[in-house]
């Protein structure tokens, strides 16, 4: 699956991924109104609103980008109807030719990790049939439980040609509390990175591994070190834009081939129409504002890469 | 919520929790047959089978135990229908007077952790109404992202009188890969434990905190150390039984008051009828086998505590 992702990045000349993390507060009134008229002010109504909101954005940006990253928490908060909207969003994005990175940050032990892996990347068997509960192309995985929490995901990746991104250094302010702790002079995130490289060797694509990692845009010095440490690992980079990461900081997350990283923006794209810069689009043209924000983001990052 | 859990543990004289982690392979043929007849060999059929299986067990054991711990991965693998069965199971257990510990091991940053917290422990607002997407009493939380991943859960716990159990030292063989790494001579799990104590002070019940922790039964020496380090923290202890943890190993997870820990068994209870010891019950009386296994587990643990 990493081969497919790389191909699409090259084809679109766009090392970016749009985070589909819808909050109801981002959804324009006209969409909420229609959804609530049909389903009431219910969980079903909320789910319909975020699905229609997503659909508008996906339709407006799908020709520009290689991938989307729906954040499952934003759907899970609306319970079962919300998760149905997550599933529908993933399926629709795949229909539109996008690679789907499920930002699920799951991680458990043994057969339990296996169940998450089967549910999100693989298949479950029911009697004599098999089904995909959800069907992302990649998912994010939390490494705190060690190899036997991660390997069940890798097994499924190998069987199904899928991929994962393992959390190494997250973008949030307190990520250092545990991740930066020094173990014999080496920060924990580097120990995790070394394991990611080891796990990645078991599941290689052509140039890059199907086992990628997550390193926040907000820690560019660490990104630089980690890039060198893990040359065949694709880095998923959250934290650009709204969280403060700048394009010039991101140059060192890429390899000399111009590949090796994919930068996420969520709020900065999907709620673009709420920014001063794009507010002339107005809420009724929110998706066009998102399209313009994607164009600007690609230009910003490619500009920094060329500079 | 920790007060409620402690009350129920004392009332039942049973510091145990039954893990509702159904695999289709555990579900007796007669239940699967009925479910597949109604819904086909589909995700809906699988969801119905695990729900009926759970219901049988809950009915058979609910007067003996204070709490259940459904493992969401086992439901999530069956997609949206599976998650509907998770929700139904949680609601049914609450109806039966049980405390519900959602084993979800979620953890993200800021507003995303907030969304998980709202979805599982709190409420979401849709227009002028509020809803609980899922409604566990406690959930398990992964600490790898640091304080700003955990605090949104604690905020909801305070508002809604709920609780969390933060992963400190997990029961799996490779948990030491990162958790045991020494930071200035102190293992990482102890650093996490100290943070759990700090977070717990913000959300105290009468004697214990609403912020508990997870320490596997398979690491009794660490359990002993952690018990002393975190006197007001309730310890959720997985790994008893099928994973190898023994009752005599668990004594040091408890405080002198006989409280402070709650021991989980999943497979050992819910698939008891498959063990030689209980096989005379037969698949049609699987729930009675589970009841006997619960009685034996309580006796085993209370025996060790008295010894």
A chain contacts of residue B176, beta-carbon cutoff 8 Å: 146
Q: Do B129 and A74 touch (CB under 8 A)?
A: no
A187 in B contact zone (CB under 8 Å): no
pLDDT at B243: 75
pLDDT at A221: 95
pLDDT at B46: 98
Q: How far apart are CA A217 and CA A237, in angstroms?
A: 6
Portion 54-113 of A in contact with B at CB < 8 A:
71, 73-74, 76-80, 82-84, 87, 105-113
pLDDT at B277: 97
- H or E stretch including B261? strand B261-265
Are A247 and A226 in contact by the 8 Å Cβ rule? The answer is: no
Q: Do A172 and B149 touch (CB under 8 A)?
A: yes
Residue of A nearest to B195 (CA): A177
Q: How far is CA B22 from CA B52, B71, B181, in A?
A: 11, 8, 33
Q: Which one of A21, A36, A74 has the shortest CB-CB distance to B127?
A: A36
Other CB atoms within 10 Å distance of the CB of residue B158: 12
Architecture in CATH for domain A2-306: Alpha-Beta Barrel (3.20)
Q: Do B127 and A87 touch (CB under 8 A)?
A: no
| Structural tokens at position A129 | 């049939």
Q: How far apart are CA B117 and CA B251, in angstroms?
A: 32
Nearest-CA distance A298 → chain B (Å): 25
Stretch B109-113: mean pLDDT, rounded?
93
Q: How far apart are CA A230 and CA A165, in angstroms?
A: 13
pLDDT at A244: 80
pLDDT at A158: 97
pLDDT along chain A (307 residues), means of 10: 98 98 97 98 98 98 98 98 98 98 96 97 97 97 96 97 98 96 97 98 97 96 96 96 84 95 97 97 98 97 92
Q: Do B82 and A133 touch (CB under 8 A)?
A: yes
pLDDT at A177: 97
DSSP string, A243-307: GSB-HHHHGGGS-TTS-SEEEEESHHHHTGGGSGGGGGG-GGGHHHHHHHHHHHHHHHHHHHHH-
Dihedral sign computed on CA atoms, order A286, A292, A295, A296? negative
A29 in B contact zone (CB under 8 Å): no
Are B170 and B122 in contact by the 8 Å Cβ rule? The answer is: no
Q: How far apart are CA B253 and CA B259, in angstroms?
A: 9
**Catalytic residue flag (residue A162):** no
Nearest-CA distance A193 → chain B (Å): 11
State the pTM of this model. Answer: 0.97
Phi and psi torsions of B158, nearest 5°: -65, -45
pLDDT at A38: 98
pLDDT at A245: 80
pLDDT at A51: 98
Stretch B20-35: mean pLDDT, rounded?
98
Given a cut of 80, is residue B242 above it in pLDDT? no
A33 in B contact zone (CB under 8 Å): no
pLDDT tens digit sequence for B149-204 = 999 999 999 999 999 999 999 999 999 999 999 999 999 999 999 999 999 999 99
The per-residue pLDDT of chain B, averaged, comes to: 97
Nearest-CA distance B252 → chain A (Å): 23
Stretch B2-10: mean pLDDT, rounded?
98
| Structural tokens at position A13 | 């000349």
B149 in A contact zone (CB under 8 Å): yes
Q: Do B146 and A172 touch (CB under 8 A)?
A: yes
């Amino acid at each position: 699956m990493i081969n497919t992702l790389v191909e699409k990045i090259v084809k679109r000349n766009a090392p970016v991924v749009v985070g589909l993390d819808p909050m109801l507060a981002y959804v324009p009134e006209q969409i909420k109104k229609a959804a609530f008229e049909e389903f009431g002010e219910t969980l079903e109504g909320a789910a319909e609103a975020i699905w229609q909101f997503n659909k508008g954005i996906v339709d407006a940006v799908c020709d520009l980008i290689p991938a989307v990253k729906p954040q499952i928490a934003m759907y899970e908060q609306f319970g079962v109807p919300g998760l149905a909207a997550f599933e529908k969003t993933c399926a629709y994005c795949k229909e539109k030719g996008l690679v789907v990175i499920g930002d699920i940050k799951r991680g458990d032990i043994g057969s339990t990790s296996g169940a998450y892996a089967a549910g999100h990347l693989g298949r479950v068997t029911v009697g004599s049939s098999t089904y995909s509960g959800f069907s992302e192309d990649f998912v994010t995985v939390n490494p705190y439980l060690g190899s036997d929490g991660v390997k069940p995901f890798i097994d499924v990746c190998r069987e199904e040609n899928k991929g994962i991104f393992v959390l190494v250094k997250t973008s949030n302010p307190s990520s250092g509390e545990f991740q930066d702790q020094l173990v014999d002079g080496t920060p924990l995130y580097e120990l995790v990175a070394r394991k990611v490289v080891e796990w990645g060797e078991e599941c290689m694509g052509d140039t890059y591994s199907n086992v990628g990692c997550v390193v926040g845009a907000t820690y560019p010095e660490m990104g630089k070190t980690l890039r060198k440490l893990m040359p065949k690992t694709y880095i998923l980079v959250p934290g650009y834009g709204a969280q403060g990461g700048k394009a010039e900081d991101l140059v060192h997350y890429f390899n000399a081939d111009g590949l090796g990283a994919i930068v996420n923006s969520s709020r900065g794209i999907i709620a673009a129409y709420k920014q001063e810069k794009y507010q002339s689009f107005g809420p009724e043209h929110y998706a066009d504002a998102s399209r313009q924000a994607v164009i600007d983001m690609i230009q910003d990052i490619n500009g920094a890469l060329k500079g």
